[in-house]
Amino acid sequence: MKKTKLTERFQTLAGINKLSVLKEAEVTEQFMSRVNENPMLKEELFSALAGLASILVSAGVTGQIQSAMEDPAIAEKYPSLAKIFGILQKIGGDVSPGISKGVTEQQPYL
């Protein structure tokens, strides 16, 4: 990407100059050059992806445990888990109307 003068950048941001359209190959090349220049960026990227994967996996596992707790035999066998998921369902049920109310009224989240 070529360097531009600061005034040209401001004019582009203000909408006076047209934005330059980047091609996918250019974007990929810029990203890879930044990753190769800064090894910490690569580490941070993979850490973020690993964190996202762990969140998705834990959500899936939690969903499976919750559906298993709906079976009365399993709920009897593991009463503490059944109690925890009962509390979580109650909290979720109490929070849900407030969230939907905020969304319909277009109130910002605090």
Domain range summary for the chain, segments of one domain joined by +: 23-96
pLDDT in tens, the chain (110 residues): 567 677 777 777 777 766 667 778 888 888 888 888 887 877 888 888 888 888 877 778 878 888 888 888 888 898 888 888 888 778 777 776 766 665 555 555 55
Task: Tell me how crowded residue 105 is: count the other CB atoms within 10 A of its CB.
Answer: 7
Distance CA 75, CA 82 (A): 5
> Which residue in 59, 94, 53 sits closest to 67, CA to CA?
59
pTM for the model stands at 0.38
Return mean pLDDT, the chain. 77
The whole-angstrom separation of Cα 59 and Cα 65 is 10
Dihedral angle computed from the Cα positions of residues 28, 30, 35 and 41, in that order, rounded to the nearest 10 degrees? -100
In whole angstroms, give the CA distance from residue 31 to residue 26.
Answer: 9
